[in-house]
Amino acid sequence: MSAPLLNVQGLCVEFGPKAAPIRVINDVNLRVDPGEAVGIVGESGSGKSITSLSILRLVPEPPSRIAAGSITFEGRDLLAMPKSQLRHMRGRDIAMIFQEPMSSLNPVMTVEAQIGEAIMLHERMSRAERRARVIQLLRLVGIPDPESRLKAYPHQFSGGMRQRVMIAIAVACNPKLLIADEPTTALDVTIQAQVLDLMKDVREKLNTAILLISHDLGVIAEVCERVLVMYAGHVVEDADIRSLFENPKHPYTRGLLRAVPSLTDERSRLYQIPGSVPQAGSIKQGCPFYARCDLRQNICAQTMPAMSRHSSSHQAACWVTQNLSEVRSA
Amino acid sequence: MNQPIIQAENVGKIFPGGGGGLWRPAPPDVRAVDGVSFEMTRGETLAVVGESGCGKSTLGRLLLRLIEPSSGRVLIEGTDITTLSGAEMRQMRRKVQMVFQDPYGSLSPRRTIAQLIAEPLQVFGLVKNRRQMRERVAELLTQVGLPPSVMDRNPRQFSGGQRQRIGIARALSVDPSFIVADEPVSALDVSIQAQIINLMQDLQQEKQFSFLFIAHDLAVVRHIAHRVAVMYLGQVMEIGTKRQIYEVPQHPYTQALLSAAPEARLDRPYRRIVLKGDVPSPTAVPEGCSFHTRCPLAQGICRVERPPLAQVAPGQMAACHFAAPNSLGVAAAGPSLDKSNSPRARA
């Protein structure tokens, strides 16, 4: 087994006063191997973004704090690392792209200056070399005629083009891990398809590992080999894409897969998961999906199930399906 | 053949760019909707799909005369609403209602649920007293799946999905014959989307209003629509029954949209085609066919001559010089399209 690139163990994140904390991330385990593409899927409030922000310690502390757990990157402990050293890693080893490309770019800096800044922070090179590198990056992310766009400002680009610039900044220093938090949510479908293709392309060319956060399983299926399903701050299922689609083990994942409308499916009614997504930290005991689950049993209300392994690449946290598979394998 | 409830005849809207200043040239006009025509019958759901800026929301608003069309006519049950006076239009609004996208912005935070839902009833004098009003509100809340006991609460106590239910109850209150829903589920979580889609489908079947459903998500539309219109830069590129649009799309843009939609499954139903470039700005719609700058099939004629929306099959129209079933070959992978006859599909 190769050493993981990123290894998150038992991560818990809390908000609010220490005396009465609101726990928004609960015992999250996440592992990304070098060059691997992993997705995190979840609805709003599931904790997927907080998880990804915690990795680079970008969640503001206070009000939040990492209450427990460890995050290691290539064996180095990111939680124990001094801020200065962490800053050195951000952008060089781990880069991040966000949902809204306009608000993540500086509106008064040219594209060349913004991409150049990312390079300047981590690598020493002459101005001419830097410019050549910026042009090369713009070409990599598919901006036509990059030489003429160097002096352009973000407002002169469309949404898809801005996201390409963001990706260029992110991969400027050949990071080993690229964290993308809903990178295509603000984009139209035809532009989304372009950006997803670009991410796959960049991964292939630079061998960057990708952690893709999305609410859309379809987007994750395009890019990733493995996916974690989050619900109310818990990872409820962790599986390779194929087993997840063919044989989902958690009732929430099953419901989600059936509830998503499909292009080809003409059922006259969609399956609906009853109830609504619980507020962060509102569930203190038992399985967070208990109230909406159609397989629930008494034990589910009392104790949160641990992840149980269904195959070498498939785990889920459910009392009921765990027992079912034991019965089957016995 | 039913009498059409809604007829749009060559409807267009140009938003003027506004005057320039002394040192500033006048900004160009925005051609938001350009010559759109269609009809809708009673009990029919027409979905309008397209990417942002294609004019789908503007079209929805034009049909309700929430904005004034620059050209063309809109007929509701045979009456041309574009020439109605203010007072006449107000009466007409009893028949037409709208459900908005943002369930947070469309409900006044200072009012109770009962006040919000009852407002249209009071405007049209459909309830005589408070007791009657509360009875009607309770009935409407039950119809949209909320307990009547919530009527004295404020919108902030509700989640997005519940707020959207309230918005739907409000639209239903006057028993309209035409409802426009502008992206009603795109702000909701996936598990909630299904609830709202099912609710709207049930209500539509029960009450038989004509339903214009505006969306960018082709998968959502497949569940709710009888017919689908695909818009691009203010024009209808293709319109047809659901089956025609999803199984034998003839316009290259429709095919590209279908192939770009990410699907949560392993076998992709449409071969993937990634369009090059961006949607041109509606201030500078390309000459000729507005799609030619991104179209893989574009020829010389496409740059010069705009193709009219012409019939390509019974009930299906496409605006393309080279319209042909599956002309981009997106369905070449042999889509596992469900052939079972849906009871809701119409010929």
User: pLDDT tens, A74-91?
Assistant: 888 888 888 888 888 888
Measured distance CA(B346)–CA(B162) in Å, rounded: 31
Average pLDDT over residues A238-257: 91
Domain(s) labelled CATH 3.40.50.300 in chain A stretch across 1-212
Q: Is A2 exposed, middle or buried (0-12, 13-18, 19+ CB in 10 A)?
A: exposed
Q: What is the pLDDT along chain B (347 residues), one digit of tens a residue?
A: 568 899 999 999 998 877 777 777 777 888 889 999 999 999 999 999 998 888 899 999 999 999 999 999 999 999 999 999 989 998 899 999 999 888 888 888 899 999 999 999 998 888 889 999 999 999 999 999 999 989 999 988 888 888 999 999 999 999 999 999 999 988 888 888 888 999 999 999 999 999 999 998 888 888 889 999 999 999 999 999 999 999 999 999 999 999 888 887 777 778 888 888 888 888 888 999 999 999 999 999 999 999 999 999 999 999 999 999 888 887 644 444 433 333 333 33
| Chain B interface mutation, best of A242, A254, A266, highest count of B Cβ atoms under 10 Å | A266
Domain for residue B141, yes or no? no
Measured distance CA(B251)–CA(A141) in Å, rounded: 29
**Total tally of structural domains belonging to chain B:** 1
pLDDT confidence of residue B2? 63
Q: Judge contact between A69 and A12, C-beta under 8 A.
A: yes
Please report, in angstroms and rounded to a whole number, the separation of the first and last CA atoms in chain A. 28
Q: Is the peptide bond before A63 cis (omega within 30 degrees of 0)?
A: yes
For residue A145, the distance in angstroms to the closest alpha carbon of chain B comes to 13
Domain for residue B347, yes or no? no
Nearest residue to B193 (alpha-carbon basis) of B158, B165, B152: B165
Give A102-132 pLDDT, tens digit per residue.
788 888 999 999 999 888 888 888 889 899 9
Nearest residue to A280 (alpha-carbon basis) of A53, A55, A50, A22: A22
| Chain A interface mutation, best of B165, B265, B338, highest count of A Cβ atoms under 10 Å | B265
Task: Using pLDDT thresholds of 50, 70 and 90, give the confidence band for residue A268.
Answer: low
Q: What is the DSSP letter of A277?
A: P
For residue B168, which phi and psi values (nearest 5 degrees)? -70, -40
pTM above 0.90, yes or no: no
Q: Is B162 on the interface with A (CB under 8 A)?
A: yes
Domain for residue B254, yes or no? yes
Contacts of A121 (CB under 8 A, 6+ apart): A91, A92
Average pLDDT over residues A16-30: 86
- Answer whether B190 sits within 8 Å of A218, measured CB to CB: no
Closest by Cβ to A264, choosing from B159, B269, B272: B269
Nearest residue to B37 (alpha-carbon basis) of B247, B311, B327, B289: B311
Domain for residue B326, yes or no? yes
pLDDT confidence of residue B346? 33
Q: Is A63 on the interface with B (CB under 8 A)?
A: no
Range of the domain at B278: 246-335
pLDDT confidence of residue A299? 85
A184-B188-B211-B75 Cα dihedral, nearest 10 degrees: -70
For residue B253, the distance in angstroms to the closest alpha carbon of chain A comes to 10
- What's the fold here for domain A1-212? Rossmann fold (3.40.50)
Average pLDDT over residues A199-203: 88
Q: Judge contact between A168 and A195, C-beta under 8 A.
A: no
Chain A CB contacts of B197 below 8 Å = 261, 270
Q: Is A270 on the interface with B (CB under 8 A)?
A: yes
User: Chain B, 285-344: which have a CB under 8 Å from a chain A CB?
Assistant: 294, 335-338, 340, 342-344
Q: E strands within chain B?
A: 6-15, 30-40, 45-49, 71-76, 79-80, 96-99, 178-182, 210-215, 227-232, 235-241, 310-313, 316-318
Q: Is B29 on the interface with A (CB under 8 A)?
A: no
AA letter at B327: S
Nearest residue to A299 (alpha-carbon basis) of A330, A273, A323: A323
- Answer whether A188 sits within 8 Å of B195, measured CB to CB: no
Domain for residue B20, yes or no? no
pLDDT confidence of residue A320? 86
For residue B139, which phi and psi values (nearest 5 degrees)? -65, -45
User: Chain A, 284-303: which have a CB under 8 Å from a chain B CB?
Assistant: none
Q: Locate B242 and state its tokens.
A: 């659901």
B227-A216-B265-A329 Cα dihedral, nearest 10 degrees: -140
Average pLDDT over residues A12-24: 85
Q: Could you give the strand order of the β-sheet that contains B235-241, starting from the edge strand earlier in sequence?
A: B96-99, B178-182, B210-215, B45-49, B227-232, B235-241, B316-318, B310-313
| Chain A interface mutation, best of B200, B247, B278, highest count of A Cβ atoms under 10 Å | B278
- Answer whether A266 sits within 8 Å of B222, measured CB to CB: yes
Contacts of B299 (CB under 8 A, 6+ apart): B321, B322
Minimal Cα distance from A252: which residue of B?
Answer: B191
Domain for residue B258, yes or no? yes
Q: Could you give the strand order of the β-sheet that contains B30-40, starting from the edge strand earlier in sequence?
A: B30-40, B6-15, B71-76, B79-80
Measured distance CA(B277)–CA(B283) in Å, rounded: 17
Chain A CB contacts of B104 below 8 Å = none
For residue A147, the distance in angstroms to the closest alpha carbon of chain B comes to 18
- Answer whether A264 sits within 8 Å of B338, measured CB to CB: yes
